[in-house]
Amino acid sequence: MYSAKWLDGIPTIQRDGHNVLAVWDQDWSFAANLCDLLNEMDAEPSLFLNKYDRIWLKDLDRAFGRRVQHV
């Protein structure tokens, strides 16, 4: 989960206690809005491709990427 904290007078976005991003110009509202957006995105399921998915997609891309010879 993302949260905004002050670090040396600068709003800093943290994830699970680790600093991820410092926000310039001390724009606290931007930092808070960004945290809300990141938390919403984090709630969505992610798309992960394994090795075999990538191989299948590359083969599919090659098959459709070839030029077709018309007779």
Tens of pLDDT, residue by residue over 5-61, are 988 888 888 988 888 888 877 788 888 888 888 888 766 566 677 888 888 888 877
| The pLDDT of residue 20 | 87
Name the strands in the sheet holding 18-22, side by side, starting at the edge strand that comes first in the sequence. Answer: 2-7, 10-15, 18-22
User: With 80 as the cut, is the pLDDT of residue 65 above it?
Assistant: no
pLDDT score of 50: 83
Q: Which tokens in the block code for residue 21? A: 């991003």
Give pLDDT, residue 45.
Answer: 60
Please give the Cα distance from 14 to 33 (Å, whole number).
13
pLDDT confidence of residue 68: 54
Q: What is the enclosing helix (H) or strand (E) of 19?
A: strand 18-22
Show the tokens assigned to 18: 């680790």
